[in-house]
Amino acid sequence: MITNFKGKTAVLTGAGSGFGLECARIGAAKGMNLVLVDVQQEALDKAEAELKAAGAKVLARKVDVSDAVQMERLAAEVKATFGAPHFVFNNAGVGAGGLIWENSVADWQWVLGVNVWGVIHGVRLFAPMMLEAAKADPDYEGHIVNTASMAGLLAPPNMGIYNVSKHAVVSLTETLYQDLALVSDQVSASLLCPFFVPTGINNSERNRPADLVSAPLTASQKIGQAMNDKAVGAGKVTAAEVAQKVFDAMASGQFYIYSHPQALGSVQVRMEDVVQGRNPTDPFAHKPELGVSLKAALRAG
């Protein structure tokens, strides 16, 4: 929990757009120091200028969160500039779809690198720093929020590489919560599981590594991209609304943060499949026309 944000420090990855930028805006309004991290220099520069104009102290760094050395350098600079952070938002993420066997080694390395290793680095580097600060100061409050997805609680077809990465973040963060509770009452964690929210993740292709850009997308990857674009574009919940939920959760000590609680019905069905030992339920049972069209599109190739 964090009961008072003023004068505290936030480290936010994926801060150039979406949830990262919206959380940075709320942090600035609450008087926080901001460490903005993104892989896109242009978006980072724009965010830095906006938040400095809003009166925040800002450290902006272009960092590939999947890179251990770059993240270690960032952590050292954060500590030297502001001391231990209070809010760490491991939020950078990329999306990718397609039939699970069609993803190349490079696809897996890219998506798991950003979505999983980015969170691992954020936790392994900042949690010890935060715990050290908590031991030194009984008034210190720290909170780590990791961005997963409803895809981390479900297993929708034709997006396996993304599902795998987000299931890992769910497991990592649930364990982090339990591990922190063993050693400190001053540092905790929350898990953000958004559904379809317009954030820019559906434009992840802009950040694909050079060796992937030249590789043509398979038919299933194109179909997955198109379906995701449509779903994200139709999203009614805004990134700003989700960012407010993140701050509310930190203030109240809430672990699970959902953008679309109504999607939990599908999670319950999946859990009942697991508990009852029955085969996975058709994910399109509530919208059979979607399943029919996806099958037809995939089988047409």
172-217 confidence digits (pLDDT tens): 999 999 999 999 999 999 999 999 776 555 454 555 566 565 578 8
- Domain assignment present for residue 150? The answer is yes
Catalytic site positions: 162
CB 250 within 8 A of CB 243: no
Comparing 41-50, 228-237, 239-248, which segment has the lowest mean pLDDT?
Answer: 228-237
Q: Is the pLDDT of residue 292 over 80?
A: yes
- Domain assignment present for residue 283? The answer is no
Total number of domains in the chain: 1
pLDDT of residue 203: 55
- Domain assignment present for residue 295? The answer is no
- Domain assignment present for residue 63? The answer is yes
- Domain assignment present for residue 227? The answer is yes
- Domain assignment present for residue 68? The answer is yes
pLDDT of residue 219: 83
Q: Rounded to two decimals, what is the model's pTM?
A: 0.93
CATH number at residue 219: 3.40.50.720
CB 1 within 8 A of CB 27: no
Mean pLDDT within 136-150: 97
Task: Indicate the pLDDT class of residue 232, thresholds 50, 70 and 90.
Answer: low
- Domain assignment present for residue 282? The answer is no
Concatenate the DSSP letters of all residues of 249-295 into one string.
HHHHT--EEES-GGGHHHHHHHHHHHHHTPPPPPTTTT-HHHHHHHH
Mean pLDDT within 87-112: 94
pLDDT of residue 207: 57
Tell me the residue range of the domain where 191 lies.
Answer: 9-262
Q: Is 173 helix (H, G, I), strand (E, B) or coil?
A: helix
- Domain assignment present for residue 298? The answer is no
Q: Across all residues in the chain, what is the average pLDDT?
A: 92
pLDDT of residue 202: 46
Longest CA–CA separation in the chain, Å: 63
